Structure 1
Amino acid sequence: MNHGEQGQGRGAPGTATAPDSAGTRPGVEPDAAPRQAPGRRLWDRLRRHRILAYLAIAGPGLIAANAGNDAAGIATYSSAGSQYVYRTLFFMVLVTIVLVLVQEMAVRLGTHTGKGIAALIREQFSLRMTALALFCILLANTGLVVAEFAGIGAAFELIGVSRYVVIPIFAVLLWGLVVFGSYRYAERIFLLFSLTFLAYPVAAVLAHPDWSQVASNLALPHVSTDKDFLLLGVALIGTTVSPYMQLYAAAAVVDRGAGPRDHRAARFDAISGAVFACIISIMIIIATGATIGGQGPLDSARQAAEALRPVAGPGAELLFAVGLLGASALAGAVVPLSTAYAISEAVGVERSVTRRFREAPLFLGLFTFQVILGATVALTPVNLIQLLIYTQVLQGIVAPVILIFILILANRRSVLGGAANGRAFRITATIAVAAVTAMSLLLVVQTVLGLLGWS
């Protein structure tokens, strides 16, 4: 696949410095060096530099993908395991491929053009098409911000603290972190919290699932035309390939000043982040399917926490609460930021988390409005699990619109030049986006026919 990556390796961050001709570090005499094979010393140094480089660049791609494992994501994956045990696993393998493709295209657009996706849509398409894209983004993201704050409230209610106390506190906290310029540090903390969901792979093993069934469902489709199964399938698309993730990933690499020479690092970050997030998602389904599979739809966060009981025992709810808090807080900032980036890009005004309110009033004003709206609605009486799942269904319906824009932009040589999609990548990505679109349209048709009493 030709992605036009010429020259990407030159000057890339984290490039290891080779040893001198004697195979020793600069300033160290050959006789003082440890008696170790030169090839082994070189490998150790390269490996250390690669790890440090990844830790340094891990950012927009990893954060955007991991933000997908938020409150709504956990609820959706847990419901998939609870309702259908392992039957959605093959579907998740396909969704993982889609996520890898679109995340890679998003960061490639950002690094090679220096512009976010919304700005490129404004430049390359008509005003009406731009308005359609922005409407879809606003519609999907507004519901999702509510879900994230509801997730923060649910995390604290698991440990006996009222959501009416913590949601306003976290709304002010997230707002302050972004507006006053300390968000870059906070996102690492939230990401660290959300990594408690690494307990799911352990839980999946300790729950002793039927691994033959797991393998069968991973390798072969076990789909159903049942409307509930289709609804959940679209929700899985929405929570795994959420439009805000691509918008944020592209805008964030631009905000960081990444250019074409940084593409290799940004691409690795995007792809590894997507794969990591999807592995965790699959493990959530396996762990939930093995522990409470067949019980039907979930009604509460406590039920979802049951999947961690093989790992944490009585502390399952606490472990789940910590992970849910980190994931929800991370996405609670990323989602409104993606909206603010998109609209500010389309209008053509200043947008950056490093700016002050007077320097980027629209960008930070939009972020502030969404935080206030999301926190306010999350304080109303709602069925948390149903709210979370239906926001993902909405994401799944809206996602094809944004994915089609991204695909067209990444195909155009007038936009990316030699970095545009090669023939094989273009065909693969087109099939993937078409499949997501068909799934969403099928759900819409089924829903409309149901309202008309024809199904």
Structure 2
Amino acid sequence: MASLGLRDLFRRRRGPLAFLAVVGPGLIAGVAGNDAGGITTYATLGSQTGLRFLWILPLTALLLALVQESVARLGVVTGQGLSDLIRERFGVRWALFAMVVLLLANLANTVANVAGAASAMAIFNVPILLTAPLSALIVWLLVVYGSYRSVERIFLALTAVFLAYIAAALLANPNWAAVASSLTTPSLAGVSGAEMLLLVAVIGTTVTPYMQFYLQSAVAEKGIGVEGLGAARADAILGSIWTNFIAACVVIATAVALGSLGKPIGSAAEAAVALEPLAGEFSKILFGAGLFGASLLAMAIMPLTTAFALSEAFGFESGVDKRLSEAPIFYGIFTAILAIGAIVVMLPGLNPIGAIISSQYLQGLFLPIVLAFIVKLTSSKSLLGEHVSPRWLRLAGWSSVAILAVLNVGIVLVNILDLAA
């Protein structure tokens, strides 16, 4: 029904109205990448290196836009999720491998985001033992008892919390000439090994595998026909630009307030508290509220992504529009991951920063594998026909896979050497 309505709309209308009917999956997938791990990574970049590496964000915006556009195109043209296509085109073994790694990475990320929500509310003296289960329950009720349309609208409303980071950057009162110079002047002069690892972490937290699985599943479930392909691609690209713009605001706020002091921070919540004496109480509140909203959004997206991917890969019914009785496996996976995330965070002695860092490493290691699947699928003329990726995009895709794989090997070697030392 949803797809028929959208197709009728595109036959009757063009322009902004048609675009607004499609907007959602790309924007939600993009901003979901600015979760607790993402914000922590960007805040660390700003606090430890100032504005020096702000230029990395336009590059990650371009990479994310290329990937998100490819995934949106796959979802619209095939009407299938990414894991479904991996199973069909590469076989059950590759699908099983991809799902196991995705499950592990998303479990770690769900724990990280429940921890992020709890850390944000701890700024306002709300105990973790209250925040963790209550946040998980709110997300569970929203997804299980809501329709796709209502859930998407709430997700879109949650993206408004990221406006807090724009305000935080403005309150920090940066030197805008220095900001513009850093954005447009790439340089690795004098970069240390630790800073290089941090830049790799920025790439890994910006272009995460779960975003691609969610985006394609959401596009397929929304039922966007080929008539809406242009609008779906625009939604994916704009989502990529918006999420990196927010990332830049986080870096600017923490760079101006903390970078000159050389104050390293261990979490985004710590950054919010550290901003107070330098940028005011309101800045701390904005930063903390943004972290809570971002964590809440990601708490929903990651279990949903895993439920979509596993259900599609192995042929189970899936979809937020399905009743609990119609898709018990789908909702069972979603519930289990969300519950595990909340329970782990409530365990005494947990180091939430360790959980966040581990989740970012897992997502980063998985990224070249997922990207290889995406490039291979979008290069298939038998699958996409006239909508197959052009040669320049295939070349860019395979080059990105190679570069990310080399960077991952470097990270693994550095960690092995650190352990040996």
TM-score, normalised to structure 1, is 0.84
**Quick one: distance in 2 between partners of 1:251 and 1:127?**
19
Please name the residue that 1:61 is paired with.
26
Which residue is 1:249 aligned to? 215
Stretch moving more, 140-149 or 120-129: 120-129
State the 4+ residue runs in structure 1 displaced beyond 4 angstroms. Answer: 9-12, 14-17, 306-312
SS of residue in 1 equivalent to 2:404: helix
1:198 maps to 163
Counterpart for residue 51 of structure 2: 86
Whether contact under 8 Å (1:13, 1:265) holds in the other structure is: no
> In structure 2, what residue type is equivalent to 1:270?
A
Offset at residue 136 of structure 1 (A): 1.8
The secondary structure found in structure 1 opposite 2:280 is: helix
CA distance in 1 between counterparts of 2:91 and 2:195 reads 37
Hey, what's the Cα distance between the residues in 1 that align with 2:196 and 2:11?
44
Instruction: Check whether the contact 1:204–1:287 (CA below 8 A) recurs between aligned residues.
Output: yes
Paired letter, 1:243: P
Letter of the 1:321 counterpart: G
Deviates more, 1:392-401 or 1:110-119: 392-401
Equivalent-residue separation in structure 1 for 2:183 and 2:176 (angstroms)? 10
Q: Is the 8 A contact 1:199 1:311 kept in 2?
A: no
**Match runs of 1:417-428 below 5 Å:** 417-428=385-396
The answer to whether the aligner puts 1:239 opposite 2:239 as a matched pair is: no
Give 1:15 shift: 6.1
- The separation in 2 between residues aligned to 1:318 and 1:394, in whole angstroms, is 31
Q: Is the contact made by 2:61 and 2:244 (CA closer than 8 Å) also made in structure 1?
A: yes
- Show the counterpart of 1:329: 296
Distance 1:73 1:204, change over 3 A: same
Aligned counterparts of 2:323 and 2:158: Cα–Cα separation in 1: 27
Q: 1:226 to 1:127 in 2, by over 3 A?
A: farther
Residue of structure 2 equivalent to 1:313 = 280
1:288 counterpart (236, 251, 254): 254
| Counterpart in the other structure of 2:310 | 343
1:105-120 counterparts in 2 under 5 A?
Answer: 105-120=70-85
Deviations 1:237-293 (A, max 9, x none): 222111010000000111111122221111111111111111111121112111111
Total equivalences in the alignment:
413
Q: What secondary structure sits across from 1:89 in the alignment?
A: coil
Q: 1:209 to 1:312 in 2, by over 3 A?
A: closer
1:137 has 2:102 as partner: yes
Decide which moves more: 296-305 or 438-447.
296-305
Cross-structure match for 1:46: none
Q: Give the number of the structure whose alpha-carbon radius of gyration is greater.
A: 1
Q: Which amino acid aligns with 1:340?
A: A
Which of residues 212, 233, 238 in structure 2 aligns to 1:272? 238
Does residue 177 of structure 1 match 2:142?
yes
Q: 1:441 to 1:340 in 2, by over 3 A?
A: same
Contact 1:81 1:289 in 2 (8 A): yes
Deviation at 1:385, TM superposition (A): 3.6
> What does 1:12-51 correspond to in 2, within 5 Å?
13=10, 16=13, 50=16
Q: Measured at CA, do residues 283 and 298 of structure 1 come closer, stay the same or move farther in structure 2, by a change above 3 Å? A: same
CA distance in 1, matches of 2:355, 2:298: 16
Which of 122, 126, 147 does residue 112 from structure 2 map onto? 147
Query: Partners in 2 of 1:442 and 1:127 — Cα distance?
Result: 30
Whether the aligned pair in 2 keeps the contact of 1:82 and 1:288 (CA below 8 Å) is yes
1:159 aligns with 2:127: no
Amino acid at match of 2:103: L
1:53 Cα deviation from its structure 2 partner: 4.1
Tell which deviates more after alignment, 379-388 or 416-425. Answer: 379-388
Query: For the structure 1 residues 59 and 348, does the alpha-carbon distance in structure 2 shift closer, same or farther, using more than 3 Å as the test?
Result: same
Structure 1 match to 2:380:
412
State which drifts further: 241-250 or 441-450. Answer: 441-450
Q: Secondary structure at the match of 1:161?
A: coil
Using the TM superposition, name which of 201-210 and 325-334 deviates more: 201-210
Aligned to 2:3: none
Q: Distance in 2 between matches of 1:215 and 1:276?
A: 17
1:435 pairs with one of 396, 403, 406: 403
Distance 1:189 1:313, change over 3 A: farther
Aligned twin of 2:358? 390
CA spacing shift, 1:311–1:408, aligned 2, 3 Å: farther
1:293 aligned counterpart, secondary structure:
helix
Task: Check 1:184–1:145 CA distance in 2 against 1; reply closer, same or farther (3 A cut).
Answer: farther
1:447 paired with 2:388, answer no
Normalized per residue, which structure has more helix? 2
Letter in 2 for 1:240: T
User: 1:131 Cα shift?
Assistant: 2.1
Supply the distance in 1 between the matched residues of 2:98 and 2:24 (Cα, whole angstroms). 25
CA separation of 1:259/1:53 partners in 2, compared to 1, >3 Å: closer, same or farther? closer
**Is the 2:29–2:214 contact (alpha carbons within 8 Å) kept by the matching residues of 1?**
yes
Aligned with 2:61 (options 90, 96, 114): 96
- Give the share of equivalent positions with the same residue, in percent: 43
* Cα displacement (A) at 1:141: 0.6
CA distance in 2, matches of 1:167, 1:221: 40
Structure 1 gaps of 5+ residues are 1-8, 18-48
The CA RMSD over aligned residues, in Å, is 2.5
Counterpart AA for 2:51: Y
Residue of structure 2 equivalent to 1:228: 194
Q: Which residue of 2 aligns with 1:365?
A: 332
Between the aligned partners of 1:206 and 1:164, the Cα distance in structure 2 is 32
- Asked if the contact 2:64–2:240 (Cα under 8 Å) also holds between the matched residues in 1, the reply is yes
Counterpart residue type for residue 88 of structure 1: F
Q: Deviations over 1:286-318 (max 9, x none)?
A: 121111115343134443215865997312332
CA deviation vs aligned residue, 1:151-200 (integer Å, no higher than 9, x gap): 12112111111110121112122112111224643443354344233233
Q: Which runs of 5+ in 2 are unaligned?
A: 1-5
Distance 1:191 1:310, change over 3 A: farther
Change (3 A) 1:431 1:165: same
What's the counterpart of residue 341 of structure 2? 374
| CA positional deviation for 1:440 | 1.7
Deviation at 1:232, TM superposition (A): 1.8
Which secondary structure does the structure 2 equivalent of 1:69 belong to?
coil
